[in-house]
Structure 1
């Protein structure tokens, strides 16, 4: 993947078809800014799907590692459902 193009929202609106073509054909993402702040990115759908699958695999591996650690600790390392939910929320934040 090439270095992204950084463009303000107004330019992206005016040239949306070009932004999409650049993402798909040239594999160049566009970072969209609003008031000088980076707000979003346009990437090819296949790249998006690849990144989602990668994130899911990483999350599954992390959860499996947590389960393995908990199993190896036995009851002394057990946590309540509420504690596990809080840990998952804090990890995703």
Structure 2
């Protein structure tokens, strides 16, 4: 099976026709070696074949990173609110003064 490596990627990049001819080997490499295979069709990278457990770990890592980012945003918004916040009573006084 012909495998090329592109740029800094260490994962195999293989033509779709080669993957079809050697599907069992490609699946074994993903399953046992935890090596994803990027497939190309007409010179363009299309799908990636990787082990299901590796995929689940990637999804979990994405969710953890997204949760951390959202928590950081919430903390920043809360801090901004504290720095520029006024109490409800102060707001009511300011509104009442504006009406006079």
Note the residue ranges of structure 2 that are not aligned, 5 or more in a row: 1-9, 85-100
Q: 4+ residue runs of structure 1 moved beyond 4 angstroms?
A: none
Q: Which residue of 2 aligns with 1:65?
A: 72
- TM normalised by structure 2 equals 0.66
Q: Establish whether residue 40 from structure 1 lines up as the match of residue 47 from structure 2.
A: yes
Aligned with 1:39: secondary structure?
strand
Q: Which residue of 2 aligns with 1:50?
A: 57
Q: What RMSD over aligned residues (CA atoms) do the two structures have, in Å?
A: 1.9
Aligned with 1:27: secondary structure?
coil
- Matched residue pairs, number? 75
CA–CA separation in structure 1 for the residues paired with 2:35 and 2:45? 16
Note the residue ranges of structure 1 that are not aligned, 5 or more in a row: 78-93
CA–CA separation in structure 2 for the residues paired with 1:37 and 1:20? 21
- Of structures 1 and 2, the one with the larger relative CO (CA 8 A, separation 6+) is 1
Q: Which of 4, 9, 15 does residue 8 from structure 1 map onto?
A: 15
- TM normalised by structure 1 equals 0.71
